């Protein structure tokens, strides 16, 4: 078990400090220690293996406290259900009695204190633990309308603490978000979530561009982002035209299927008659319908302007 991404523990220089008589020099990790939510964290507590005065005996007692409540002792038996065992090691004249915090939760952040009593001497070290969680970033629907006011929504979830910076990018160039909601805290794991919206009028040039929604965590100094390319959605009128076209095509195919026996039995003349019927139906039904929808679309566009 190592420190992972966290900085190594700070070693106390005994030559520079002169603890009072009977005081044992104890050092801990540089404070604060940042722990990822759900990870295992080891809090170190080091002290001289041979106390001043040359006294050597086994009267060693190490106690870890969280918010002034004792959570573990040297024998490795946990006092509470949250703190793990104390891991003891000794080398090169120094001893370590490190406290294991398994599966860190938000409730585990706060002040910790390592109290050591050894051969008639006492000392303690303090360290602050802060918990952080990286965000999950998702753009659920990168579908927009061509040449119409559209919006892209970015969901940022599961981060802690609540201060994250959200930005939009197009081919690496930063864009201005239209709206960013306030961070809201969840009820289960108490992490935060927010929504960011980017509004724009997409054109053909945007179709192949790489868009990104990025969330940067200030405490961990890391970013998470969702990359995507937009797709165009057919407008309501265009969709109506497509539905009518599918219905028309289905009706014509049904008519051709019903007349198929005539085509197969009597040669090419009936087949030509069916083809002419299809062309006439397209001219008489589809073309006027398309013109009507086009006029309605132009009217709606002029009103919206």
**Which pLDDT score, from 0 to 100, does residue 239 have?**
52
The span from the CA of 102 to the CA of 130, in Å, is 14
Residue 84 maps to which CATH number?
Answer: 2.60.40.10
Co-location of 66 and 122 in the same domain: yes
Co-location of 103 and 181 in the same domain: no
Beta strand residue intervals within 171-218, DSSP E: 173-175, 179-180, 184-185, 192-200, 211-217
- Count of domains for the chain: 3
User: For 119, left (φ over 0), alpha (ψ -120 to 50), or beta?
Assistant: left
Dihedral (Cα; 243, 246, 247, 253), 10-degree rounding = 180
> Along the chain (305 residues), what's the average pLDDT of each consecutive run of 10 residues?
40 37 85 95 90 57 93 75 83 88 94 90 94 96 92 95 94 92 86 95 93 95 95 64 52 44 39 47 52 58 49
Q: Evaluate whether residue 285 is within a structural domain.
A: yes
* Residue of 204, 164, 206 whose CA lies nearest to 184: 164
Co-location of 103 and 170 in the same domain: no
**Which pLDDT score, from 0 to 100, does residue 204 have?**
92
Q: Evaluate whether residue 305 is within a structural domain.
A: no
Structure tokens, 270: 């009936």
Q: Evaluate whether residue 15 is within a structural domain.
A: no
Q: Evaluate whether residue 172 is within a structural domain.
A: yes
Q: Evaluate whether residue 165 is within a structural domain.
A: yes
Q: Evaluate whether residue 273 is within a structural domain.
A: yes
**Which pLDDT score, from 0 to 100, does residue 260 have?**
38
DSSP-assigned beta bridge partners for residue 41: 101
Co-location of 87 and 168 in the same domain: no
Q: Evaluate whether residue 21 is within a structural domain.
A: no
For residue 293, give its domain range: 236-299
Co-location of 123 and 200 in the same domain: no
């Amino acid at each position: 078990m190592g420190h992972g991404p966290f900085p190594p523990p700070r070693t106390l220089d005994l030559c520079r400090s002169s603890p009072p008589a009977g005081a044992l020099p104890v050092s801990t990790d540089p404070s604060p220690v940042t722990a990822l939510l759900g990870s295992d964290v080891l809090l170190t507590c080091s002290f001289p293996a041979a106390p001043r005065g040359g006294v050597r005996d086994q009267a060693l007692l190490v106690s870890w406290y969280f918010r002034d409540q004792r959570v573990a002792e040297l024998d490795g038996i946990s006092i509470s259900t949250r703190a793990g065992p104390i891991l003891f090691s000794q080398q090169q004249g120094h001893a370590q009695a490190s406290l294991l915090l398994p599966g860190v939760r938000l409730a585990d952040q706060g002040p910790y204190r390592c109290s050591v009593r050894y051969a008639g001497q006492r000392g303690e070290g303090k360290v602050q633990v802060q918990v952080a969680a990286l965000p999950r970033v998702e753009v659920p629907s990168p579908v927009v309308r061509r040449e119409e006011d559209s919006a892209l929504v970015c969901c940022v979830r599961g981060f802690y603490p609540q201060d994250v910076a959200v930005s939009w990018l197009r081919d690496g160039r930063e864009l201005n978000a239209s709206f960013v909601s306030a961070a809201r805290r969840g009820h289960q794991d108490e992490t935060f979530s927010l929504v960011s919206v980017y509004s724009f009028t997409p054109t053909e040039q945007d179709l192949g561009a790489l868009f990104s929604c990025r969330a940067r965590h200030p405490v961990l100094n890391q970013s998470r982002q969702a990359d995507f390319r937009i797709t165009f959605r057919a407008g309501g009128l265009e969709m109506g035209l497509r539905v009518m076209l599918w219905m028309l095509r289905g009706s014509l195919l049904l008519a051709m299927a019903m007349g198929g026996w005539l085509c197969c039995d009597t040669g090419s003349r009936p087949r030509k008659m069916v083809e002419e019927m299809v062309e006439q139906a397209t001219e008489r039904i589809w073309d006027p319908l398309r013109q009507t929808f086009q006029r309605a679309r132009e009217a709606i566009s002029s009103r919206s302007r």
